[in-house]
Amino acid sequence: MAGSARRAAGRRLQLPLLCLLLQGATAILFAVFVRYNHETDAALWRWGNHSNADNEFYFRYPSFQDVHVMVFVGFGFLMAFLQRYGFSSVGFTFLLAAFALQWSTLVQGFLHSMHRGHIHVGVESMINADFCAGAVLISFGAVLGKTGPAQLLLMALLETVLFGINEFVLLSLLGVKDAGGSMTIHTFGAYFGLVLSRVLYRPQLEKSKHLQGSVYHSDLFAMIGTIFLWIFWPSFNSAPTTLGDGQHRTALNTYYSLTASTLGTFALSALVGEHGRLDMPILEAKFKVQDTCGVHNLHGMPGVLGALLGVLVAGLATHEAYGEGLDSVFPLVAAGQRTTTSQAMHQLFGLFVTLTFASVGGGLGGLLLRLPFLGSPPDPQCYEDQVYWEVPGEHEDEAQGPLRAEEPDTRA
């Protein structure tokens, strides 16, 4: 009883202290280093004698809105499929994204947009921060239900730094083109989370097996998240692209790819799944990876596939195919500084760098999160909101005995 009381007291203090510490440090860093960019600063914009209609806000903000909805609504409800973890899925998504947006603005700013000792921010930096938050939430999906909010904040703290470094190496040093964030967002976020989950593997989670399933209403929430992501994915892929034909082409390609992949998914589900359902238990059974949200299937494999297709496209890039537009797609090839083969090899090396950063970072993150004072939820209470949230009706559940999964509907 005394041990339980101490753990409860520790949980009470850990989250508020960590939130206040991180927010206080971030606020100080913003005050010292962050300034408006020329598109935002009133004095600089007026000095250039621009009209209001020229401001990048009008071209970029609609894309930002779409990406923002994906991060907070799409990812949040996508992970709400666990029957008793809805508050945590949506709430911890809110917490992690809110912190990651601020911290990634600083990290990316130090690496990409320092001007005379200051980080310049505008709509484009907001979009880039959302992309980093997306990678953090992908990793969150791999450890969903098995980690506490303090652990997740520390995961976000480490991962955001590594995300920024990996992005800087690929885009600035290697000159890699990463359409849609195949490597920097999806591959990095997925394999960071999967290695993290492997380090945090808990063989006794069978005690919580009855909470790892879904029920009708929790699956419905997950479908809502899926639809939000599906609708806004063209904006996600095209938001960082150069304005004009590149952005237009990216949105169009994503639009049709989404429709084709949807039909393919339904077809494969009906063909290979038992009773027409998808079932992927093989990771946990063979590799001891407890991938709660299936991020390997949803982000990892597609990210690697996208990166490999990028290698192929770079190898086939020619002036005949792109015309003068080659300068915006593969500028180093257009300038004659690289051959198409050299660009393709750089693309492939970028994938190797991303997997290395993700794997090493996930391993270090797992060791950090295993520190005993961080207080992860006990095995029998994983995938359960009541550990961290005041849940309506919880006292009635406690009076009735141990929680049980809802009985499946067996009607014909």
pLDDT at 137: 95
pLDDT at 11: 65
Q: Look up residue 203 and give its two tokens.
A: 């063989």
Total-model pTM: 0.87
Spatial contact of 50 and 116, defined as CB atoms under 8 Å apart: no
pLDDT at 85: 83
List, in order, residues 6 or more apart from 33 with CB less than 8 Å away: 106, 109, 110, 117, 118, 119
List, in order, residues 6 or more apart from 296 with CB less than 8 Å away: 142, 190, 194, 280, 283, 289
- Written as tens digits, the pLDDT of the chain (412 aa) is 555 666 666 667 888 999 999 999 999 999 999 999 888 887 776 666 667 777 888 888 999 999 999 999 999 998 888 888 888 899 999 999 999 999 999 999 999 888 889 999 999 999 999 999 999 999 999 998 888 899 999 999 999 999 999 999 999 999 999 988 999 999 999 999 999 998 988 877 766 666 667 777 788 888 889 899 999 999 999 988 877 888 888 899 999 999 998 888 778 777 776 665 555 474 445 555 666 777 888 888 889 999 999 999 999 888 887 887 788 888 888 888 999 999 999 999 999 999 999 999 999 999 999 888 887 887 777 888 788 888 776 655 544 544 444 444 444 3
Spatial contact of 189 and 355, defined as CB atoms under 8 Å apart: no
pLDDT at 385: 78
Spatial contact of 35 and 121, defined as CB atoms under 8 Å apart: yes
pLDDT at 404: 45
pLDDT at 166: 96
As beta bridge partners, residue 35 has 120
Query: How far lies 378's CA from each of 1, 7, 67, 147, 209, in Å?
Result: 15, 10, 35, 10, 13
Angle at 359 between CA 358 and CA 364, to 5 degrees: 95
Buried b (16+ CB within 10 A) or exposed e, 308-345: eebbebbbebeeeebeebbebbbeebbeeebeeeebbe
pLDDT at 379: 75
Neighbours of 251 (CB within 10 A): 18
pLDDT at 395: 54
Angle at 90 between CA 85 and CA 93, to 5 degrees: 115
pLDDT at 412: 38
